[in-house]
Amino acid sequence: MFLPFSWFLGTPEWTPFNSNPLNSFFQGLVGACGISVLCNLLRVYHFIQTCSDSESETESKPRSSSTVSPLRGNWKIVVQFWSLVVLLSLVGSRVSSLIVLEFSLRAVSAWASAGLDASGRGPDLLLIQSQFSLGCSLICTLVFLHQGAPHSSLSLFLAAALSWALASVGHSLWSHVARLYPLHSTERYCGKCISLLTSGHGMLASLQRAVVLAFAIASVAATTTVYDHFLSQKDALKFWTPLALCYTMLLVYMQEHQNRQTGTEALLHTAVLRLGALLVLMLTVGDWSDVLQVLITFLGEAVCLLPSQDLLQAELMEEDTSFNIPSHKTRERTWKTSSDDS
């Protein structure tokens, strides 16, 4: 909303932008494209797993592809995407760095608890929860890499164009799979579907490695940003140490609480708790723009998590299957319904 004034007046202190608004827009576009790629590939993976489970249970006639029409709700996808672009554009590097470090710490905690718990569900669900944090990690990395660059706008434009191309490929793949995979996987005449049929089971592991790599790189950039903006002042560590300990205790509580809950409400409750803790932190050590950006992250998490109920249900059904609960029919109905709405 301050964009027209920023073009003529530069970037005054009272705007929510910490850099050139054009650069902020390109960074938000890259982050939204990264989230889009993650969600589309997750949907592709769970859909082909559903089809594989159904075919392994019964050998029936090929199913008609007309039952699935992911483009019926195409306007919802467009609204979600551009909403994420706007929200990510308004989140600065300071808050993005804190979100990246917070999520990385929570991911390590979930991984450790999943290793101790035989029924650990944390790592897989973290992919669904990491959507907005993944966008922030891409922004944090871009800000760190382009800091002081003479032609940062051109570089960010090229990065946004590449991200747009990747997001388009991901959306096209999901649309193709949702419509034609049940037919093509039996007829065996489509190269895309044959490749997914033979190697699609490894897609989730590849996504996990890619997300871990993105957060690992972003954590380095986030650590540098947090040190420059928050920890470089005198006696800052004396103030941050008790805050970090309190947040660690809250993190343990959230992890135990989430392991006892299921569903979208549990994810939203966890997001509200951790962002509420970040809001209290910014009220203590940040300025008004940091507080505003943390409030924006509440909207960003909601925009990411609320349309992801199909992914959450598919993940929970995957857990039921791992415990030998015959739920493939329920999973198939879930994907047919969610594909009609997506």
Residue pLDDT, tens place only, 212-241: 999 999 999 998 888 887 766 665 666 666
Confidence of residue 179 (pLDDT cuts 50, 70, 90): confident
Give the pLDDT score at 174: 92
253 band by pLDDT with thresholds 50, 70 and 90? low
Q: Is the pLDDT of residue 176 over 50?
A: yes
Q: What is the pLDDT of residue 71?
A: 46
For residues 13-36, give the mean pLDDT.
Answer: 80
CB burial of 134-158 (b: ≥16 within 10 Å; e: otherwise) equals bbbbbbbbbbbebeeeeebeebbbe
Query: Quick one: how far is CA 234 from the chain centroid?
Result: 35
98-145 tens-digit pLDDT: 899 888 888 887 777 665 454 445 567 888 889 999 999 999 999 999
* Residue located via tokens 């390109």: 26
User: What mean pLDDT do residues 187-202 have?
Assistant: 82
Mean pLDDT of the chain: 76
Domains of the chain: which residue ranges?
Answer: 20-56+65-235+303-341
pLDDT in tens, 85-106: 999 999 988 889 989 988 888 8
Residue 173 predicted with pLDDT over 60: yes
